Amino acid sequence: MSPNSAPTVLVVLDRIGAPLRSTDQQLLALAHTVAGSPESVHVLTAADADTTRNALDGLHLGSVFCADTDSNAHDAAVPAEQLADLIEHAARQTGATVLLASDAGEVSDALARVAVRLEAGLITHAVGVDAAEAGISVQKSVLAGAYTTRCAAESTVCITVKPNVVAVPETGLPAGTTPKPQPVEVPVSGPRVTVIERSPVESTGRPALTEAAAVVAGGRGLNGDFSLVEQLADALGAAVGASRAAVDAGWTEHAAQVGQTGATVSPQLYVALGISGALQHRAGMQTAQTIVAINKDPDAPIFEIADLGIVGNVTSVVPDLVQRCEKARQ
Ligand SMILES: Cc1cc2nc3c(=O)[nH]c(=O)nc-3n(C[C@H](O)[C@H](O)[C@H](O)COP(=O)(O)OP(=O)(O)OC[C@H]3O[C@@H](n4cnc5c(N)ncnc54)[C@H](O)[C@@H]3O)c2cc1C
pLDDT tens-digit map of 30-74: 999 999 899 999 999 999 999 999 999 999 999 999 988 765 544
Burial 98-112 (b: 16+ CB within 10 A, else e): bbbbbbbebbbebbe
Whether residue 75 is predicted with pLDDT greater than 60 in this model: the reply is no
Domain ranges of the chain: 9-185, 214-329
Atom number of ligand 1 nearest to Cα 262: 8
The two domains 9-185 and 214-329 share their CATH topology (first three levels equal): yes
| Residue 231 in contact with ligand 1 by CB distance below 6 A | no
SS3 state of residue 115: helix
> Cβ(245)–Cβ(219) under 8 Å?
yes
Neighbours of 123 (CB within 10 A): 20
Whether residue 160 is predicted with pLDDT greater than 60 in this model: the reply is yes
Cα 271 to middle of ligand 1, angstroms: 14
CA atoms within 13 A on the CB side of 201: 9
Which residues have a Cβ under 8 Å from the Cβ of 320 and sit 6 or more positions away? none
Whether residue 189 is predicted with pLDDT greater than 70 in this model: the reply is no
Backbone angles phi and psi of 115, in degrees to 5: -60, -40
Atom number of ligand 1 nearest to Cα 243: 11
Whether residue 188 is predicted with pLDDT greater than 60 in this model: the reply is yes
- The predicted pLDDT at position 73 comes to 45
- The predicted pLDDT at position 201 comes to 72
Superfamily of domain 9-185: HUPs (3.40.50.620)
Once rounded to an integer, what is the mean pLDDT over residues 77-84?
81
Q: Before 19, cis peptide (omega within 30)?
A: yes
Once rounded to an integer, what is the mean pLDDT over residues 158-173?
91
For the chain, give the mean pLDDT: 90
Look at residues 163, 56, 54 and name the one whose alpha carbon lies nearest to residue 102.
163
- The predicted pLDDT at position 200 comes to 76
Comparison of pLDDT for 199 and 74, the residue scoring more? 199
Closest protein CA for atom 39 of ligand 1: 221
Torsion angle of C-alpha atoms 289, 292, 298, 303, degrees rounded to 10: -10
Cα 63 to middle of ligand 1, angstroms: 48
| Residue 217 in contact with ligand 1 by CB distance below 6 A | no
Whether residue 149 is predicted with pLDDT greater than 90 in this model: the reply is yes
Once rounded to an integer, what is the mean pLDDT over residues 297-326?
96
Whether residue 4 is predicted with pLDDT greater than 90 in this model: the reply is no
d(CA 127, CA 150): 10
What is the distance of C-alpha 225 from the center of its chain? 29
| Residue 316 in contact with ligand 1 by CB distance below 6 A | no
Ligand 1 pocket test target in 210, 215, 295 with most atoms within 8 Å of CB: 295
Comparison of pLDDT for 84 and 79, the residue scoring more? 84
Look at residues 205, 226, 320, 214 and name the one whose alpha carbon lies nearest to residue 275.
226
Instruction: Return the minimum-mean-pLDDT range out of 38-47, 187-196, 223-232.
Output: 187-196
Residues in the chain: 330
Whether residue 187 is predicted with pLDDT greater than 50 in this model: the reply is yes
> Cβ(45)–Cβ(101) under 8 Å?
no
Once rounded to an integer, what is the mean pLDDT over residues 195-203?
76
SS3 state of residue 78: coil
Whether residue 295 is predicted with pLDDT greater than 80 in this model: the reply is yes
Whether residue 94 is predicted with pLDDT greater than 50 in this model: the reply is yes
d(CA 25, CA 173): 8
Cα 242 to middle of ligand 1, angstroms: 9
- The predicted pLDDT at position 190 comes to 61
Whether residue 2 is predicted with pLDDT greater than 70 in this model: the reply is no
- The predicted pLDDT at position 186 comes to 78
DSSP annotation of 54 reads H
d(CA 264, CA 258): 6
Neighbours of 196 (CB within 10 A): 5
205 — pLDDT class (breaks 50, 70, 90)? confident
Cα 287 to middle of ligand 1, angstroms: 18
| Residue 236 in contact with ligand 1 by CB distance below 6 A | no
- The predicted pLDDT at position 74 comes to 41
Share of the chain above pLDDT 70, in %: 93
- The predicted pLDDT at position 314 comes to 97
Which residues have a Cβ under 8 Å from the Cβ of 63 and sit 6 or more positions away? 42, 43, 93, 94, 179, 182
What is the distance of C-alpha 59 from the center of its chain? 21
Atom number of ligand 1 nearest to Cα 294: 43
Share of the chain above pLDDT 90, in %: 69
Neighbours of 139 (CB within 10 A): 18
**Is CATH 3.40.50.1220 what the domain over 214-329 is classified as, yes or no?**
yes
Cα 208 to middle of ligand 1, angstroms: 22
Look at residues 111, 122, 104 and name the one whose alpha carbon lies nearest to residue 86.
111
